[in-house]
Amino acid sequence: MAEIRALFWDVGGVLLSNAWDHHERAQALEQFHLDAAEFQARHEMLVSPFERGKITLDEYLDRTVFYKPRTFSREAFRDAMFALSQPFPDVLDFAGKLAASGRWLMGTINNESRELNNFRIGRFGLREIFRIFLSSCYVGLRKPERDIYRLALETTQMAAEACCFIDDRPVNLECAAQLGMKTIQMQNRQQLAADLEKLGVSL
């Protein structure tokens, strides 16, 4: 088995809570008393360009929320969106220790809109853990598209068999595995550490 030299991580659902997935959207819709079906129909049309960095957060909100007068402000809704992000401290600590060892290149492969992604990177200290951020909003590709995993390999010049990708969703692991990367479906910190140890990655 090839030695693992690079660890690529999903962010939402692995290191942090999801930023703007269905659960988070449902909380915001309930808080601001928005019609869920109406919002979801608009969201589905915009989520791809939003997460690919083709439209800004303000443009997204213009077309999903503020296309008609509201009793709340744009700032209040934005603040609520950002406040939904929460850390998984035990996993962040584990990833930080792996990074501090200097033994593996640490990067992310994640789907996120630019403003939320930038906020989460800064708020939760991800710059101190990861050397490269292959975020959908930066590269214009989204998981589970094959090319985002290929870009990770080509950008880092790592052989696929020397890389491990960690994600909580099986569908996001499939193309990575087909390209030859090792994959781990994240369930909890203990399971993750045990599965990494099987690949020779341990503190």
The total number of structural domains in the chain stands at: 2
Q: Which whole-number Å values give the CA distances from 28 to 31, 33, 145, 154, in the listed order? A: 5, 8, 28, 38
Residues of the chain falling short of pLDDT 50: none
Per-residue model confidence (pLDDT) at position 172: 98
Domain shared by 52 and 130, yes or no:
no
Domain shared by 193 and 131, yes or no:
yes
Domain shared by 66 and 91, yes or no:
no
Per-residue model confidence (pLDDT) at position 178: 98
Residue 117 lies in a domain: yes
Per-residue model confidence (pLDDT) at position 79: 98
pLDDT in tens, 120-131: 999 999 999 999
Domain shared by 149 and 77, yes or no:
no
CB 46 within 8 A of CB 29: no
Residue 68, domain extent? 22-83
Kindly give the pairing relationship between strand 163-167 and strand 6-9.
parallel
Per-residue model confidence (pLDDT) at position 41: 98
Per-residue model confidence (pLDDT) at position 120: 98
Q: What is the largest CA-CA distance in the chain?
A: 59
Question: Which residues face 194 on adjacent strands?
Answer: none
Residue 165 lies in a domain: yes
Residue 1 lies in a domain: no
Contacts for 32-38: CB closer than 8 Å, 24+ residues apart: 32/65, 32/70, 32/72, 32/77, 32/80, 34/65
Per-residue model confidence (pLDDT) at position 1: 80
Q: Which whole-number Å values give the CA distances from 45 to 38, 41, 132, 137, in the listed order? A: 12, 7, 29, 16
Q: Which phi and psi angles does 136 have, rounded to 5°? A: -55, -35
